Amino acid sequence: MTNPIKETDDAARSLASGLIADARMAALATLPLTGGFPMVTRVAVALIDGQLVTLVSDIAEHSQALSSNPACSLLIAAPVKKGDPLAHPRITVYARAEFRGAGEKESLRSAYLERHPKAELYYDFADFRLVRFTVDRADLNGGFGKAYRLGPDDLKPV
């Protein structure tokens, strides 16, 4: 079987970092607590100071999954208006999630709310916690025949 992965070039790096910079939401995959099914849920995301973050509630099941095992992945995609959804660019980012303290959450408040103005309604709730994602690697799919495997350094703005 032919290897479908193309050699990473600056066009791929630029597409990948652009998708992540523009992202307002992602599909988050987490591992099951005890066997069974992986979970995929929607999270709001923002790229702040070059790092992907989210805000999750303690009562959400994905928060419990990430607390138990921080290994996760995030599917980030450009909006699909029409046509074949598989022809549109998207990227899977493999990452470790880290819950951060209230002080760091407060310090990122204005940057996060600039990206997500409606989150002002709940940003300060005590059960909402800031999570940082440390990227391990990423799989970019720019459409059919445009698959790339990227490292963390490939995701910095070109």
Q: Which among 85, 68, 76 is positioned nearest to 32, based on CA atoms?
A: 68
Residue 33 touches a copy of itself, criterion: CB under 8 A = no
Which of residues 21, 119, 123, 146 is near a copy of itself by CB under 8 A? Answer: 119
What element of type H or E holds 104?
Answer: helix 102-107
Of the listed pieces 8-16, 91-99, 107-115, 150-158, which binds a copy of itself according to CB under 8 A? 91-99
Name the 3-class secondary structure at 158: coil
Q: Give me the 126-145 binding string for a copy of itself, x by CB under 8 A, dash otherwise.
A: ----------x--x-x--x-
Closer to a copy of itself by Cβ: residue 96 or 100:
96
Please name the residues in contact with 83: beta carbons below 8 A apart, sequence gap of 6 or more: none
Please name the residues in contact with 57: beta carbons below 8 A apart, sequence gap of 6 or more: 63, 122, 125, 127, 128, 129
Number of residues that bind a copy of itself (CB under 8 A): 48
Strand 90-99 and strand 71-77: the pairing is antiparallel
Which of residues 83, 110, 126, 153 is near a copy of itself by CB under 8 A? Answer: 83
Residue 63 touches a copy of itself, criterion: CB under 8 A = no
- Residue 42 beta carbon to a copy of itself: minimum distance, rounded to whole angstroms: 5
Q: Which amino acid is at 21?
A: A
Closer to a copy of itself by Cβ: residue 1 or 10:
1
